[in-house]
Structure 1
Amino acid sequence: MIYEALRKELRAKRYRMTAQREIVLRVFVNSGGKHLGAEDVYRHLVARKYKISKATVYRSVELLSKLGFLRRLEFG
């Protein structure tokens, strides 16, 4: 599953699979292929009463993108 692949990749790069990183990834996995930005993920999690900072979401998205689990798209 994607979560186990992420755990292995994080360990190989000397990162940890934190609960925050996992929940951010889950939002993308469960998005049904919709294009989401970090702000969208943050709003989604806050609306569902998760205690997570905006900075943590942005850092998690950046790391997941750097490791190839997310693809960064630029519009405009």
Structure 2
Amino acid sequence: MKNFKEKFKLKLAENNYKFTRQREIIVETILENENWHFNAEDLFAAVKEKDSEIGMATIYRTLELLEKLDLIHILDFNDDSRVYELYLKDHHHHHLICKGCGKLVEFSDQGIDYFEKELEDKYDFSIDEHKLRFYGYCGDCRDK
């Protein structure tokens, strides 16, 4: 994910923003998250372990900047908290969302990609984005 950090630096420079130590720590912390889904509160807690002087306002401003630079996306799952994920153009995926515990599962399916192409051809339509989400219950919540 070193490329992501370099891309961040480049986009900051292109848009006349500085690459600060705080932004570096926040981006490194995001990149350490194995599933790349996170909320601001969890990110804040992880960042505080590295630098106790970084406040919640800095987290929110940096997330806003990352979104503005098209490096992260906000996932809207129709609940009260925002979930963020890295935007990786070569990592197109969809989500399974547990309505019980909020667990997110990413999946990819080439059949969906073929279906998208069929829709474009059938309706003479150029699709540039789609979001597919399935809601239900994970095994743990279903078994309760």
- TM-score tier, shorter chain, comes to 0.7 to 0.9
State the structure with bigger RCO (CA 8 A, min sep 6), 1 or 2.
Answer: 1
Q: Which residue of 2 aligns with 1:68?
A: 70
Using the aligned pairs only, state the percent identity. 33
Q: Flag structure 2 segments of 5+ consecutive residues without an equivalent.
A: 80-144
Stretch deviating more after TM superposition (9-18 or 66-75): 66-75
Q: TM-score, normalised by structure 1?
A: 0.87
Larger radius of gyration: 2
Q: Which runs of 4+ in 1 moved over 6 A?
A: none
* Structure-2 change in CA distance of 1:24 and 1:49 (3 Å): closer
Shift of 1:43: 1.2
Task: Indicate the RMSD between aligned Cα atoms, in angstroms.
Answer: 1.3
Q: Flag structure 1 segments of 5+ consecutive residues without an equivalent.
A: none
Give the number of aligned pairs. 75
Q: TM-score, normalised by structure 2?
A: 0.49
* Mapping for residues 1-76 of structure 1, pairs under 5 Å: 1-46=3-48, 48-50=49-51, 51-75=53-77, 76=79
Shift of 1:49: 4.6
